[in-house]
């Protein structure tokens, strides 16, 4: 049976939908090869879709960035989020309609970890100051008393899931003293001490750096608005590096999402539980 995969037009906020189409049509993984063998060599039909319930009902899965109310208007069996966060989706309504919801959790650990390490290095070595000066054609000399290294510095990683552990592995490799915070204070490789959220202030004490790797929940909501307002004082602070929500940006992003969906297509065929299922 030929599978039909819909790429919702909202993914265009990240990449052209055609990029996801190529990722799903490629045969770059063993999972993908197994998938084609089970379907007599037929490649899936991959198409960009909008909010037409009739079109959505003909799909095996719709891969999306945004929630669209039309997902629940027809007979679409399964929605896959291209992000790890799924707070925009109405879980109760999905359950009521019997629509499965899966996420892309687990694909960002290395990319986010390297991005965070880049920030830590920039601050430790003052690299951001030189970049700022470059825009002014200013050949500045550093204040050596303000420059250090990462080795021996303490970093507190709040949230020790996939993203947090990606940061931990790289910080540990650079010789940093890593402490962490998570709900259950079980040991984590590379983390010297694990605290619970109740001991957050103790965990942060003495840390040169604090890295937040927590999901968006009612408890964690309330950080800076995105995009950062023009009137925010953070724009003017030399010790702040402001970036969009891009820590997971990576040219192989779509391929990683496609691998999860291909795996789950096979699981549905074998009547197995879906990986990364939320609802």
Query: Into how many domains does the chain fold?
Result: 2
Mean pLDDT of the chain: 91
pLDDT at residue 253 above 50? yes
Residues 46 and 18 in one domain: yes
Residues 95 and 113 in one domain: no
- Mean pLDDT on 30-50: 62
pLDDT at residue 243 above 50? yes
Three-state secondary structure readout of the chain: CCCEEEEEHHHHHCCCHHHHHHHHHCCCCHHHHHHHHHCCCCCCEEEEECCCHHHHHCCCEEEECCCCHHHHCCCCCEEEECCCCCCCCCHHHHHHHCCEEECCCCCCHHHHHHHHHHHHHHHHHCHHHHHHHHHCCCCCCCCHHHCCCCCCCEEEEECCCHHHHHHHHHHHHCCCEEEEECCCCCCCCCCCEEECHHHHHHHHCCCCEEEECCCCCCCCCCCCCCCCCCCCHHHHCCCCCCCCCCCCCCCCHHHHHHHHHHHHHHHHHCCCCCCCECC
Residues 80 and 145 in one domain: no
Is residue 244 assigned to a domain?
no
pLDDT band at 265 (very low <50, low <70, confident <90, very high): very high
Rounded CA-CA distance 112/118 in Å is 10
- Mean pLDDT on 187-206: 97
Q: Which is nearest to 213 in space by CA: 145, 156, 261, 172?
A: 156
Is residue 171 assigned to a domain?
yes
Pick 224 or 216 by higher pLDDT.
216
- Mean pLDDT on 99-103: 98
For residue 44, give the CATH number of its domain: 3.40.50.720
| 25-29, 196-200, 209-213: range with lowest mean pLDDT | 25-29
Is residue 139 assigned to a domain?
yes
Is residue 113 assigned to a domain?
yes
Residues 120 and 209 in one domain: yes
What does each C-alpha distance from 264 to 101, 244, 259 come to in angstroms? 11, 31, 9
Task: Convert the pLDDT of each residue in 131-168 to its tens digit.
Answer: 999 999 999 998 999 999 999 999 999 999 999 999 99
Integer-rounded Cα radius of gyration of the chain: 22
Rounded CA-CA distance 211/120 in Å is 10
Residues 191 and 130 in one domain: yes
Residues 120 and 228 in one domain: yes
Is residue 119 assigned to a domain?
yes
Is residue 196 assigned to a domain?
yes
Phi, psi for residue 278 in degrees, rounded to 5: -105, -40
- Mean pLDDT on 204-216: 94
Residues 110, 163: contact at Cβ < 8 Å?
Answer: no
Is residue 243 assigned to a domain?
no
Residues 93 and 136 in one domain: no
- Mean pLDDT on 199-225: 91
pLDDT at residue 34 above 50? no
Q: What is the pLDDT of residue 224?
A: 74
Residues 151 and 76 in one domain: no
pLDDT at residue 25 above 80? no
- Mean pLDDT on 98-117: 97
Task: Convert the pLDDT of each residue in 223-233 to its tens digit.
Answer: 778 899 999 99
Query: Residue 44: which domain range?
Result: 4-107+251-269
**Residue 158's beta-bridge partner residues?**
181, 212
Q: What is the pLDDT of residue 41?
A: 54
pLDDT band at 38 (very low <50, low <70, confident <90, very high): very low
Is residue 260 assigned to a domain?
yes
Q: What is the pLDDT of residue 32?
A: 40
Q: What is the pLDDT of residue 31?
A: 40
Supply 267's token pair: 């699981």
Residues 230 and 114 in one domain: yes
Residues 231 and 256 in one domain: no
Residues 98 and 114 in one domain: no
Residue 18, number of CB atoms within 10 A of its CB: 13
pLDDT at residue 90 above 50? yes
pLDDT at residue 29 above 50? no
Residues 263 and 228 in one domain: no
């Amino acid at each position: 049976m030929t599978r039909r995969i819909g790429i919702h037009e909202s993914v265009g906020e990240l990449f052209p939908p055609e990029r996801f189409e190529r990722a799903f049509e490629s045969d770059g993984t063993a999972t993908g090869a197994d998938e084609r063998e089970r379907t007599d060599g037929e490649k899936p039909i991959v198409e960009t879709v909008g909010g037409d319930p009739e079109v959505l009902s003909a799909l095996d899965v719709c891969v999306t960035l945004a929630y669209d109310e039309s997902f629940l208007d027809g007979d679409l069996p399964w929605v896959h989020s291209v992000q790890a966060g799924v707070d925009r989706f109405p879980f109760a309504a999905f359950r009521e309609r019997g629509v499965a919801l899966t996420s892309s959790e687990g694909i960002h650990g290395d990319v986010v970890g390297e991005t965070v390490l880049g920030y830590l290095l920039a601050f430790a070595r003052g690299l951001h100051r030189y970049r700022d000066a470059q825009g002014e054609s200013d050949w500045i000399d550093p204040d050596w008393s303000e420059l250090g290294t990462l080795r021996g510095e303490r970093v507190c990683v709040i949230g020790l899931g996939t993203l947090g552990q990606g940061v931990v592995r790289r910080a540990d490799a650079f010789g940093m003293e890593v402490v962490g915070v998570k709900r259950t204070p079980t040991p984590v490789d590379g983390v010297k001490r694990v605290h619970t959220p109740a001991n957050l202030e103790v965990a942060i004490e003495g840390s040169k750096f604090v890295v937040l790797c927590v999901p968006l929940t009612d408890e964690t909501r309330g950080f800076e608005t995105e995009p950062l307002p023009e009137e925010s004082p953070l724009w003017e602070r030399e010790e702040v590096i402001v970036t969009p929500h891009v820590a997971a940006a990576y040219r192989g992003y779509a391929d990683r999402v496609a691998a999860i969906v291909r795996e789950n297509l096979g699981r549905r065929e074998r009547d197995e539980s879906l990986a990364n299922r939320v609802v």
